[in-house]
Every structure is written in C-alpha cells, then in structure tokens.
Amino acid sequence: MKKNTSAKMIKKAIDSYPGGICFSALDGRVILANEKMNKLMLELTGHTILNAKVTWEELANFASNGKAEKLTQSWLPKDPDKESIHQQLFFRFSDSSIWRFELRFLDLNTVQIESAEITELYRLSEELYENTIQLREMQKRQKALLDSIVEVNLNKEILSAKMHIHDELGHCLLATIKAITEDSLAENADTLRESWNSTIRDFSNIPMVWTVPDSSLQSELMQVAELIGCKVTFLGKQPESRKALQLLYTAIREALTNAVRHADATELTVKIGQDEKSYHIEISNNGSVTVSRITEGNGLSALRQRLEQEGASLKVLCDGSVSLLVDIPFDFDEVQKGGRK
C-alpha cells in the first residue's frame, strides 16, 4: 500500500512539472514519463512514449507534420552543459511556442529526455543574432567608408601636389619670359636656375603630400610675385587657421599666374571679409586686357575641385577684368574665438 502511495506521489509530482520529462533504460524501456511529455509526443509523433530510444529517433528524423516543425538555425539557444547532454532538438508548435528537447545519460543504465519551453529565450536569441548580423554589416560599411576616406585623402594630396607644380611651372615660365624681354637674363640667372631646379625636383614628389609651413606661405608668395613682376596687396584680416590659410594662398597663386600670363597685370589685390559663417575673398588685378567671358583651364578647374573638396567654393567673375570670388567656411578656423569648429 505504501509502495503504491509513494509511486502515485512521485507521478503526481512529475506531472506537476511544467516541462516534459521521461526516464528510461538504455534499451529505451520507459521507467517514468509525465503527462506533459506524452502530450508533446502526441503532437509530434502521433503517440505517447512507448520506447524512449525509438521516440528520440523519430524526433531526430522529424521535419514537419502541420502541428509542429523542427528548427535547425545555428544560433538556437543550446544548453551549455555539454558533458551530460548528448543531443538537443528544437521544435516550434502550432501555438508558436518553442520547445527544446534534451537527451542526457544520467548514469550507465539510465537515460533522461527533458523538454522545456524556451519561447522568450528563442526570441531574444533571434534578436541577438539579427543584431549581430546588422553589426557585421555596419562594420563592413565602416571599413568601406574608411577605405574611401583614405582614397579621397590620397587624391586630395595628389591634386595638391599637381596644383603646386602647375603654379611653380607657370611662375618659372613667366619669370623667364620677363627676364628675356627685359634683357635681364644674365643678372637673374642664378635665381631662375634655382626656381627651375626646385620645380623639376617637385615632379618626383607626386603623389607625396605638398605642404608649406604656415609661417612661410606669405613670404613664399611674395617672393614669387616679385620674381614675375606683380605686387600683391592684402586688404582685411587673413584667416588664422592652417587649412583656411592654405586654401586662400592656393587661390592667390592661381590668380597670380593667370593675371600676369593673360592680363599683363602688375598688381593683385586680395580683399578679405567675413560674416558669422565664412570668409569672403575677392582676388582682382589691374590687368589691361578686357575680358567678357572665360574658359576654365586646368589650373582653375583644379583649384575649383580642391576648394569644393574642402567645403569651400569658387566663382569666376568677368566684368572687363577677371576676379576670383572664394568663400571659405569657418569650420576650418580652429583658433577663432568662440570655438568655431
């Protein structure tokens, strides 16, 4: 009587367990199975557990029966206890619940099949997997963006070097022509030779970066202007940031070359104004050649491209003479009061 009472109590206890559980011998003979496990097996196989070994083989070969489907995703939330768990299987039932079935060897003679609902864990695992995929895609895009930035910067460096050589070559040609026409070639021979040697050396530096120390930008410009016979006058305060200053002097060098070469100018005027967002620069000359329209050559085109790459802009104004209108944003001015960035 006591033995039957104990067996009933054990059966009642495992039937109250929310998951499915079955204990069997190694040959599959069922020792004990609760109601939940038999109910799940009815859904999956059409019968209760008659032999645990045969039933597990049915589950392993299961695909879908209209009431449930087997899940095989690589990211399924598996139990990390690999030592005692022999196999794990996952199923989605018609009510959308997800169940995990585990086969364990408890000892040399006993096997346990246990099932537990993991619907919420499945949802979280699926969400984590999707977020991981998105993160990988973002990392790929970031890498592509970084590679693109490197390529853009390299192209900017090459363009800067080409513009420098273009300007230097133009200045050397103008200075040489001036010395020949004024019959002063002999007295300027050393200066001209050094200018040409410097320009030739620069050809070997492409695609290296051409940068001029900030302190020497104006002095170098003035030396070039004097060499080709054109005075440069500044009206207004020059930018204080390195980037804005380099863009300004790049534009002045191109304007200087064009003014002397095409307009016979002897003076270049650089007017610098500003508002709350940008520097506004007008570069004009006193050239004697009247111009109503202009076709941009390599120099102006390269200048426009360089400025636009940096967020600045260029307009060419033709009203008898040619003027360059350059706008450079304060974004470059890291030392402006008020912390413009």
Question: What was the pLDDT predicted at 148?
Answer: 64
The 10s digit of each residue's pLDDT in 240-251 is 888 888 889 888
The 10s digit of each residue's pLDDT in 23-45 is 999 999 999 999 999 999 999 99
Q: 197-206 — which CB contacts under 8 Å span 24+ positions?
A: 198/168, 199/165, 199/168, 199/169, 199/172, 202/161, 202/164, 202/165, 202/168, 203/165, 205/161, 206/158, 206/161, 206/162, 206/165
φ and ψ at residue 136, rounded to 5 degrees: -65, -40
pTM: 0.42
Q: What is the CATH number of domain 229-341?
A: 3.30.565.10
Question: What was the pLDDT predicted at 183?
Answer: 65
Whether 184 has a pLDDT exceeding 90, the answer reads: no
The 10s digit of each residue's pLDDT in 59-117 is 999 888 889 999 987 767 776 665 566 788 999 999 999 999 999 888 888 999 999 99
Question: What was the pLDDT predicted at 263?
Answer: 80
Better-scored residue on pLDDT, 315 or 212: 315
Q: Average pLDDT for residues 305-326, to the nearest whole number?
A: 87
Question: What was the pLDDT predicted at 185?
Answer: 59
Tell me the C-alpha distance between 299 and 145, whole Å: 30
Better-scored residue on pLDDT, 220 or 264: 264
CATH 1.10.45, domain 2-117, yes or no: no
Question: What was the pLDDT predicted at 207?
Answer: 41
Better-scored residue on pLDDT, 174 or 204: 174
Question: What was the pLDDT predicted at 117?
Answer: 93
Question: What was the pLDDT predicted at 325?
Answer: 94
Question: What was the pLDDT predicted at 338?
Answer: 43
Query: Who contacts 133 (Cβ-Cβ below 8 Å, separation ≥6)?
Result: none
The 10s digit of each residue's pLDDT in 133-159 is 888 888 777 666 655 654 665 566 666
Q: Which residues pair with 40 in a beta bridge?
A: none
Question: What was the pLDDT predicted at 37?
Answer: 94
Q: Which of 66-80, 274-288, 305-319 is predicted least confidently?
A: 66-80
Confidence class for position 15, pLDDT limits 50, 70, 90: confident
Question: What was the pLDDT predicted at 99?
Answer: 94
Question: What was the pLDDT predicted at 249?
Answer: 87
The 10s digit of each residue's pLDDT in 185-238 is 566 666 766 666 666 555 544 443 334 445 566 777 787 777 777 888 999 888
Query: Who contacts 331 (Cβ-Cβ below 8 Å, separation ≥6)?
Result: 311, 340, 341
Give how far Cα 130 sits from Cα of 21, 133, 305, Å: 32, 5, 42
